[in-house]
Structures are given as C-alpha cells and as structure tokens.
C-alpha cells in the first residue's frame, strides 16, 4: 500500500473551503469599505523581514518565543512577519521624502506566530492594520475611535455588544511611579504584570509581583490603582494629565466612545502613549477582540526623522468568534446566480456564447463543462443556489431564442437570445 501524505494543514493553520471563504470575503469587504470611506489607502509588504526589527521593538515574548525564523543562503536572519506595524514603519521611513504627512494607510496581511493553538489563537492569521503617521494631534485618537465604532456597526454590532477600553502608558507610568512607588528599573516588568492582571489568579499575580521586588503593600496599592477608573486621574500630576492625548479625548465629546481603564497596557514594547483594546461584552466570549495605540518612535529604527504613528490591528480569528457569538456572520454566497444549459452537446458552444453575454451584463453565470441530461443539470443548478436557468434547445436556438426559467417559481418564458440578460435580470429582481 502506498503511503500518502497527510491531508490536514500544519498545526495552527487553516484551510478555507469556498463556503467559509465566501463568509470571510463578505466580512472583509464591509471593513474595506468603511476604512476607505475615511480616506485610508491600502498597501502591502513582504512576508519576510529582517528578524532584527521584531527583536528591537516588538517585545521579548514575541521575539524569543513566537518568531518563525530562518537564515538565508547569504547568512541573513529573516522572520516570517508576526505583525505588520514594524514593516509599515520601515516603509514610511524609507519613503518619507515623497509622502505628504499625515498619511492614512491600511493593509490586510497574513501573519505568523509560533503560538500554542487554542480558542482565539492560531499560528497563521490574517489581520487588518490601520495606521496614521506624521501627526501628534489627539484628533488621531478620536478618528480611530470613531472608525472602530463604525467598523463594528458595519458588521451589525450594536453599542452594547462591545466596549473600547483605553489607557495611556504615560499616565500608567506616572501612576506606578507616583502612586504605587515602582522604580524605573521595575517599570517594564510591572507593565508586563499589569498586562497579565485579568488572566491569572491573585496568588499568581502576588507571587510575580514579589519576584519583581514589590512589597505586599505595593501589590495591594497596585490592585487599587488598576481598578480606580477615572478617579485615578485626580491623583496624577497636572503636567502629566495635560500632556496626555487620551485625557484630551476623554474631556471632549468623543469621550463617550471609550472607557478609561488603567488595566490596559498592551504587550508590545513599542507603544509609548495611548493604548486601547476592544472587548466583547458577551459572557460567552468576554475577551479582547483587537487593539492598538500610539508609537512615537517606531520609525526611529530606520531614520533620524521623527515620525509619530498611531494605529490598531484586528485579526480574523477573534473577529469571526465575535460575529459567531452574536449571530452576525453572513451566509455563504451561492456558487452562481444563473446557469446556461444546452439541451444537447452540440449546443455547448451556443450555451457558452449566451453565458458570456450574461457575464458581460454583470451576472454570475455558469455553464456545464461536461454534457449531462437536462434534469441533472437543473438539479445541480438548484443545489448550487442558482436563481435562474437559461435553457438552450435546438428548436429555440434555430429561431434565435432561449428559454429563461426561475427555479424558485418555475415561471419561464421564451425570449430572443440577445435579450436573455434583460429577461434574467427581471427574474432576479422580481420585475415584470
């Protein structure tokens, strides 16, 4: 017996059969339209990047544990991109002389991380990235928060289905230093602890805090700080509050779009200011869906020119989980809307010419690749979701006609072949 290769995809990756791909395509098309309505332009970049750009700024966990790396024949260390933000920062820096800032860009790359596959996490995923480069205005935050709400609305989500939880790393740094008493050497480790705060039980958090060097009193004060909400802002120096983009947003009419939450910190090391995460409020899927923030110096890896950036990214896995939880997934599209069927094999060319005319009229049309009996082709068209069939019979064709039939109502009419597209359109739209 021959040994066959496995048919399952590599662990943590997925096959998308046509029905699932149809659902995904419909979802992403909604998102593209909303994002582009704000003036964002789509870009793309290579799936292979220098491993250094992730090791420099993306954080230790990603660089040490999640990168897929390789060494090419020239001895260069490369990585399959685990995220898009360092790549777009490289592209912005490399083309800064020809760009008119601020720029609004978006992309939809596939990314790879060596994760432990589980609900919400796989090893290859697709994510939409939305970024603004070249502006320090708090209007950037406001626009992105508005865009998030419009994106969720375009997917059918209502305001009670999600919440945008936002923080500012400068505010959190001040709170940790001035309120909790964290030292500068401990700050990044405590950031990491805060990022895990809702994922672990209190004993584990206390043990991790002790390992960092926090006292029991500091640990208690840290817990109080992270749950203080907007009351925490009153404990911070006025100069810190005045410099915060997020505080400016909270004090504007756009403050209704977000909830201030000191617990939001984001795991990636390049964030420097505003950070936010969008959470599903359903008890069945109460988790972060996606997030982002401001990165003031990421382009500094590639250029001495200061180019501030802010953006967010959301992956397909958590997005589809959200839509499934709230019963918002669209139905798969049918294979085609119209089937053109020749009654005899000799009319195959005639059927193809009619099908071509229907396609030129914008109709999704199929014709048989192999000749089969009319009844079997009608059954196949019905199972494929076709709404209308065009039957090409010898007698009709000799007279320059075809038969157009609705599969839903069985209504049919004989029309000139040149008018088939109009007749099909009327049946599809219910017009007389």
Does 11 carry a binding-site annotation? Answer: no
State how far the Cα of 366 lies from the Cα of 380, in Å rounded to an integer.
11
Find the largest Cα–Cα distance for the chain.
94
- What does 72-126 look like in DSSP terms, one character per residue? -TTS-EEEE-S-SHHHHHHHHHHTGGG--SSEEEEE--EEE-----BTTB-SEEE
Evaluate whether 390 touches 404 at the Cβ level (below 8 Å): yes
Does 106 carry a binding-site annotation? Answer: no
Q: In sequence order, which residues have a C-beta less than 8 Å from that of residue 278 and are 6 or more positions away?
A: 148, 152, 162, 163, 164, 165, 288, 289, 290, 291, 314
Does 114 carry a binding-site annotation? Answer: no
Give the Cβ contact number of residue 280 at 10 Å. 20
* Region of residue 213 (left: phi > 0; alpha: psi -120 to 50; beta: else): left
Angle at 353 between CA 352 and CA 357, to 5 degrees: 115
- What does 206-265 look like in DSSP terms, one character per residue? HHHHHHHT--HHHHHHHHHHHT-GGGGGGGS-HHHHHT-HHHHHHTSGGGGG-EE-TT--
In terms of residues, how long is the chain? Answer: 432
Q: In sequence order, which residues have a C-beta less than 8 Å from that of residue 13 and are 6 or more positions away?
A: 122, 123, 124
Give the residue among 289, 288, 343 at the shortest CA–CA distance from 316. Answer: 289
Give the Cβ contact number of residue 409 at 10 Å. 10
State how far the Cα of 142 lies from the Cα of 254, in Å rounded to an integer.
6
Give the Cβ contact number of residue 331 at 10 Å. 10
Does 84 carry a binding-site annotation? Answer: yes
State how far the Cα of 42 lies from the Cα of 134, in Å rounded to an integer.
17
Residue 69: phi and psi, rounded to 5, are -115, 160
Find the helix or strand (DSSP H, E) in which 133 lies: strand 124-133
Does 271 carry a binding-site annotation? Answer: yes
Does 337 carry a binding-site annotation? Answer: no
Give the Cβ contact number of residue 299 at 10 Å. 25
Does 85 carry a binding-site annotation? Answer: yes
Structure tokens given for 9 = 């995809």
Residue 390: phi and psi, rounded to 5, are -115, 120
Give the Cβ contact number of residue 292 at 10 Å. 24
- The answer to whether the Cα torsion of 100, 103, 107, 111 is positive or negative is positive
The binding site consists of 83-85, 113, 127, 131, 266, 270-271
The binding site for L-histidine consists of 83-85, 113, 127, 131, 266, 270-271
């Amino acid at each position: 017996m021959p040994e066959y290769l496995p048919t399952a995809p590599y662990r943590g990756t997925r096959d998308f059969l046509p029905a699932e791909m149809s659902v995904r395509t419909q979802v992403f098309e909604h998102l593209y339209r909303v994002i582009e309505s704000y003036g964002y332009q789509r870009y793309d970049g290579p799936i292979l990047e220098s491993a250094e750009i992730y090791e420099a700024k993306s954080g230790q966990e990603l660089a040490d544990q999640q990168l897929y790396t390789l060494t090419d024949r020239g001895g260069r260390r490369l990585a399959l991109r685990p995220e898009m933000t360092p790549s777009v920062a490289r592209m912005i820096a490399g083309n800064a002389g020809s760009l008119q800032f601020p720029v609004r860009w978006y992309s939809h790359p596939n990314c790879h991380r060596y994760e432990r596959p589980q609900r919400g996490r796989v090893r290859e995923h697709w994510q939409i990235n939305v970024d603004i480069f070249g502006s320090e205005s708090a209007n950037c935050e406001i626009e992105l928060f508005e865009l998030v709400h419009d994106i969720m609305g375009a997917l059918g989500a209502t305001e009670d289905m999600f919440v945008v939880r936002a923080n500012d790393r400068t505010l959190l740094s001040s709170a940790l230093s001035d309120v909790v008493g964290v030292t500068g050497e401990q700050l990044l480790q405590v950031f990491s602890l805060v990022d895990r705060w809702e994922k672990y039980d209190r004993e584990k958090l206390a043990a991790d805090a002790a390992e960092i060097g926090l006292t029991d009193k500091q640990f208690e004060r840290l817990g109080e700080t992270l749950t203080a909400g907007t009351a925490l802002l009153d404990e911070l120096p006025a100069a810190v509050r005045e410099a915060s983009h997020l505080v400016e947003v909270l004090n504007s009419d756009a403050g209704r779009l977000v909830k201030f939450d000191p617990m939001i910190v984001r795991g990636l090391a390049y964030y420097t200011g505003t950070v936010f995460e969008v959470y599903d409020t359903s008890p069945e899927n109460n988790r972060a869906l996606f997030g982002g923030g401001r990165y003031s110096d990421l382009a500094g890896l590639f250029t001495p020119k200061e180019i501030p950036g802010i953006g967010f990214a959301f992956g397909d896995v958590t997005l589809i989980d959200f839509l499934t939880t709230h019963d918002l997934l669209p139905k798969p599209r049918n294979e085609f809307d119209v089937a053109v069927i020749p009654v005899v094999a000799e009319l195959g060319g005639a059927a193809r010419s009619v099908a071509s005319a229907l396609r030129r009229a914008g109709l999704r049309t199929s014709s048989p690749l192999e000749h089969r009996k009319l009844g079997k082709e009608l059954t196949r068209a019905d199972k494929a979701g076709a709404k209308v069939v065009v039957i090409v019979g010898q007698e009709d064709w000799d007279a320059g006609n075809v038969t157009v039939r609705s599969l839903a109502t069985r209504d049919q009419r004989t029309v000139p072949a040149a008018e088939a597209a109009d007749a099909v359109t009327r049946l599809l739209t219910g017009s007389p």
